[in-house]
A and B are shown apart, each in its own frame.
Chain A
Amino acid sequence: MTLKHNLFLEKLLKNILLFVGAMFLLSIIVFVFSRLAPGDPLQAFYGDAIESMTTSELEAARVYLGLDGSIFSQYISWITHALSGNFGISLQYKIPAMDVIAPLIGNTLILGLTAYLLVFALAILLAIACALHEDTFFDRLVCKIGTITYFIPAFWLGLVLVLIFSVNLGWFPSSGAYDYGMSGNILNRIWHLILPLTVMIVTHIWYYAYMIRNKLLDENRKDYVLLAKAKGLTKRAIVWKHSLRNVAPTIINLMAISVPHVLGGTYIAEAVFNYPGIGNMSVIAAKCHDYNLLMLLVLITGALVIITSIVAYTINEVIDPRMKDAGGSTWEN
């Protein structure tokens, strides 16, 4: 029992170390990128006022924005501040970058998470339907629609939906996350989410459904399926109880790999529908060359993705004994 406990702790520690290491590397890369940028951050922050400043004022401003010293010492001071939650001042909004982004993260998570779960729930259902009816008209139709829809640019689909459903029919709002003063109203939020969610689902579902369908078909060609069929199980029962279970680790892996993809889709959907989230903010920040804000956005996104992939790996180890590392946890303890 204690041994098992230790193994779990060890694994947890290893994962945390992995996460910290990845974030550290990411922070270095992002920092160097942002300092490579042409143009003076001071200019971006103070605008034309910079021309009338004295040397000592300029020096003070540099210290204030953390721009003094070599790039190495700049990084050290930036990372120590970052660890205490201070990611510098947004050059555009003149308030701490964290304060700009904090209220937006929730909105993005609502849209991203809902889309993510819906995409995979629907993709699995669609994949099962296709696998049960392999090579029928339905299956071919779904695959055909999939290959074509997969390459419809997400932003254009969003534009077309806005054109049809909000400009001409007036059924759904074209932008925002909620109407003014109704941020607590769940129905109002859902009403605003429908169009962005549609875009996300339509542009992502086919690829994943196709991948899962192929995995299921591979699984259906194995001998144990023949055995199950010989036992007299129905097709439906075989797929749900046997094939799907064996494909589950692959699906979870796929879900982990897809996080950056779906998150990227969320960012585009946010920008098209002017949804107040971090994706929309990153476009605005890029237009204004607000590097502090962009650095924070990249770091948050990277953290989200790395955490999900670690979680997915751990879940896979739990549900699939075949994936366990050395350590002989099968019978030694």
Chain B
Amino acid sequence: MGELDSSLFEIVGPDYRTWEQPEQKPSLLFKLKQLPWIPIIILSTIVLGCIFANFISNHDPSMYYLNHLNEAPNSEFYFGTDSLGRDIYSLIWYGGRTSLLVGLLGTAMITILGITYGCVNGTAGTSGDMIMQRFVELFHSIPTILLAILLIAIMGTQNILTISVVIAITGWFALARIVRSEVRQIRNNEYVLAAKSMGSSFGHLVRVHLIPNIIPAIMFVVVSSISACITMEATLSFLGLGLPLDILSWGSMLSLANRALLLNTWWVIIIPGLFLVVTLSCITTIANCFRKETNKRPNRL
């Protein structure tokens, strides 16, 4: 029998269905619509405000206006003044620079530390893996804040760089654990074996094969560690262990909070805190986008 000419046949009946290939890639516009625009806009406003602090602020942030102590928000001092007579509106923008910088610096160091340790740990042999894991677990058993307090007690007075180092040293364990488990999953794949047998070095293996594959898994942790770093800096500065008063940050502004409580000046506490919370929750919402979709199987309940 020769070839069948399909035009000779026509399928009819109630079950007649055409099968179409489902749309494979969502369009760019659709992807853009999925992004959390409101947090992105708010966050970029705050970031831009901090970058251009010298244009936005209307007072010198480190100037003590001694005849305007503890003034409530008014037309000259938009957000009021604190117990040292500093203008809170200007402080917010200049302080944000430090807070965001500490967040980014800390995250950069956490990422480098976490990925390096995690990759070495993940590719190590059985006993090496166990020792490295126990080491991380041991440090994980001390609360982050206590570890930071211990380090600060040792290091003495803080500046932006040292406090970022302290925050990074106390904050990389979780990331290292995730990287380790991801690397252990990847390292048994054929392409890693192929690369190894072709004689690629450890550094090349990590750079070309491991890191590109673990990025989706660690993106959420990396982005949300920006907010973790900012929170840590604020907490330490509030406790009087972080940045001193003359290095402006949202945390060091809040270290005047105890005095503000006695004077009942709410704006000193609420306004920097609100900026902190809004920034942190924006970063978290954006970080959530990087999360893998959870399972969509039907609920049996």
**Chain A interface residues (CB < 8 Å from chain B):** 22, 25-26, 29-30, 33-34, 36-39, 131-132, 134, 147-148, 150-156, 159-160, 162-163, 167-168, 174, 214, 217-218, 220-223, 225-226, 229, 235, 238-239, 260-261, 263-264, 267-268, 271, 279, 282-283, 285-287, 289-291, 294, 297-298, 301-302, 305-306, 309
CB distance from A302 to the nearest CB of B (A): 5
Contact, CB under 8 Å: B284 / A153: no
| In the complex with contacts A39-B156, A151-B277, A159-B269, A221-B241 CB distance below 8 A | no
Instruction: Establish whether residues A225 and B300, one from each chain, have CB atoms under 8 Å apart when the complex forms.
Output: yes
Closest to B301 in A: A220
List residues of B (97-136) whose CB comes within 8 Å of A's CBs: none
Specify the chain B residue showing the minimal Cβ separation from A264: B143
Say how far B266's CB is from chain A's closest CB, in angstroms: 6
The distance from the CB of B60 to the nearest CB of chain A, in whole angstroms, is 26
Q: How many B residues have CB within 8 A of the partner chain?
A: 47
Chain B residues lying within 8 Å of A150, measured Cβ to Cβ, are: 284
Contact of A260 among B142, B280, B297 (CB under 8 A): B142
Whether B281 and A305, one on each chain, are in contact in the complex, defined by CB atoms closer than 8 angstroms, is: no
Flag whether B152 is at the interface (Cβ < 8 A).
yes
Q: Does chain A have a CB within 8 A of B273?
A: yes
List of A residues within 8 angstroms of B299 by Cβ: 134, 217, 220-221
Does B94 interact with chain A (Cβ within 8 Å)?
no
**Do A267 and B300 form a contact, CB below 8 Å, given A25-B138, A39-B156?**
no
Main secondary structure of the interface of B (DSSP, over half): helix
Closest to A280 in B: B239
Identify which of B140, B150, B241, B264 contacts A33 (C-beta below 8 A). B150
Which residues of A have CB within 8 Å of B231? 151, 153
A200 shortest CB reach to chain B, Å: 13
Contact B153 A229 (CB under 8 A): no
Give the nearest-CB partner of A151 in chain B. B280
The CA-CA distance from A160 to B272 in the complex, in Å, is 12
CB pair B277 A174 closer than 8 Å: no
B273 close to A156 (CB less than 8 A): yes
A302–B240 Cα gap in the complex (Å)?
A: 24
Residues on the B chain within 8 Å of A162, using CB? 261
| Contact of A153 with B235 in the complex, beta carbons under 8 Å | yes
Do the beta carbons of B269 and A163 come within 8 Å of each other?
A: yes
A225 adjacent to B301 (CB under 8 Å)? yes
Known: A152-B277, A220-B300. A263 touches B143 (CB 8 A): yes
Q: Which residue numbers of B lie inside 8 Å of A, CB to CB?
A: 138, 140-147, 149-154, 156, 227, 231, 234-235, 238-241, 254, 257, 261, 264, 266, 269-270, 273, 276-277, 280-281, 283-285, 288, 294-295, 297-301
B153–A221 touching, CB < 8 Å: no
Please state if A302 and B238 are interface contacts (CB–CB under 8 Å): no
Minimum distance in angstroms from A85 CB to a CB of chain B: 22
Contact in complex: A309, B141 (CB < 8 Å): yes
> Which residues from chain B contact A267 at a C-beta distance below 8 Å?
143, 145-146
A286 lies within 8 A of B145 (CB): no
Q: Are B235 and A289 in contact (CB under 8 A)?
A: no
Instruction: For residue A174, give the distance in angstroms from its CB to the closest CB of chain B.
Output: 7
Does B153 contact A285, Cβ atoms closer than 8 Å?
A: yes
> Which chain B residues lie closer than 8 Å to A30 at the CB level?
150
Name the one of A163, A264, A298, A306 contacting B261, with C-beta atoms under 8 angstroms.
A163
> With a CB–CB cut-off of 8 A, which chain B residues contact A131?
301
Selected from A153, A226, A301, the residue in CB contact (under 8 A) with B143 is: A301
* A153-B231, A214-B294 known; A160-B145 Cβ under 8 A: no
Q: Please indicate the chain A residues that have their CB under 8 angstroms from the CB of B234 in the complex.
A: 153, 155-156
Nearest A residue to B237 by beta-carbon distance? A155
Q: Could you tell me the distance in whole angstroms from the C-beta of A262 to the nearest C-beta in chain B?
A: 9
Q: A160-B269, A286-B153 are in contact. Are A151 and B142 (CB under 8 A)?
A: no
A298 contacts B146, CB within 8 Å?
Answer: yes
Query: Are A282's CB and B146's CB within 8 A?
Result: yes
Also in contact, A38 and B156, with CB within 8 A (given A159-B269, A221-B299): yes
